[in-house]
Amino acid sequence: MKSSYLFILLAVIVALSACAQDQVPSQTVTQLQTPAVGPAEANPAGGIQASGLVVPEKFTELSFLESAPIKEILVAVDDQVTTGQTLVVLDAPKLQYAVIGAEAAVKSAESFARLQRFRRTILNQRGKTLYLTGPHEVLEVADAKVSRAQAGLEKAQAELALSRLIAPYAGTIVEVNATEGEFIPVGDPAVILADLTLFHIETTDLNERDISALHIGQSAEIYVLALDLPLSGSISQISPKAEVIDGDVVYKIILELDHQPDGLMWGMSADILFKIE
Query: Which of 12-26, 67-81, 204-218, 222-236 is predicted least confidently?
Result: 12-26
Separation between Cα atoms, residue 244 and residue 48, nearest integer Å: 20
242 located within any domain: yes
What is the C-alpha separation between 217 and 222, in angstroms, rounded?
A: 15
pLDDT exceeds 70 at position 125: no
pLDDT value at residue 30: 37
The total number of structural domains that make up the chain: 2
The neighbouring-strand residues paired with 235 are 255
For the segment 42-58, what is each residue's pLDDT rounded down to a tens digit?
Answer: 454 568 999 999 999 99
Residue 114, pLDDT above cutoff 90: no
Q: State the average pLDDT over residues 80-92.
A: 94
Q: Which of 162, 188, 208 is the last residue of a domain?
A: 162
Per-residue model confidence (pLDDT) at position 142: 84
In a domain, 77, yes or no: no
What's the number of CA atoms in the CB half-sphere (13 Å) around residue 22?
Answer: 6
How much of the chain is in helix, strand and coil states, percent to nearest 5? 30, 35, 35
Summarize the confidence of residues 142-162 as an average pLDDT.
86
Confidence of residue 7 (pLDDT cuts 50, 70, 90): very low
SS (H, E, C) 61-78: EEECCCCCEEEEECCCCC
Q: Is residue 180 part of a domain?
A: no
Residue 30 lies inside a defined structural domain of this protein:
no
201 in the same domain as 158:
no
Boundaries of domain holding 257: 47-57+197-275
User: Quick check: is 39 in a domain?
Assistant: no
Which of 52, 56, 53 lies closest to 198, judged by CA? 56
Q: Residue 12 in contact with residue 185, Cβ under 8 Å? A: no
Let me know if residue 231 belongs to a domain.
Answer: yes
pTM above 0.75, yes or no: no
Crossing angle for the helix pair 136-161 and 93-118, nearest 10 degrees? 160
**Residue 203 and residue 267 share a domain:** yes
Percent of the chain with pLDDT over 70: 77
Instruction: Check residue 120 and give its pLDDT.
Output: 59
In a domain, 257, yes or no: yes
Predicted confidence at residue 227, as pLDDT, reads: 94
The answer to whether residue 252 sits within a structural domain is yes
Give 80: exposed, middle or buried? Use CB within 10 Å, 0-12, 13-18, 19+. exposed
Assess whether 205 and 157 both reside in one domain.
no
Of 7-11, 36-40, 144-148, 268-272, least confident by mean pLDDT is: 36-40
Spatial distance between the Cα atoms of 64 and 20, rounded to a whole number of angstroms: 93
List the CATH number of the domain containing 208. Answer: 2.40.30.170
- Is 60 exceeded by the pLDDT of residue 8? no
In this structure, the answer to whether residues 151 and 219 fall within a common structural domain is no
* 146 contact partners, CB below 8 Å, separation of at least 6: 106, 109, 110, 113
| Mean pLDDT lowest among 3-12, 110-119, 232-241 | 3-12
Average pLDDT of the chain to the nearest whole number? 81
Q: How confident is the model over 202-219, as a mean pLDDT?
A: 93
d(CA 179, CA 37): 56
- Largest interatomic CA distance in the chain: 174
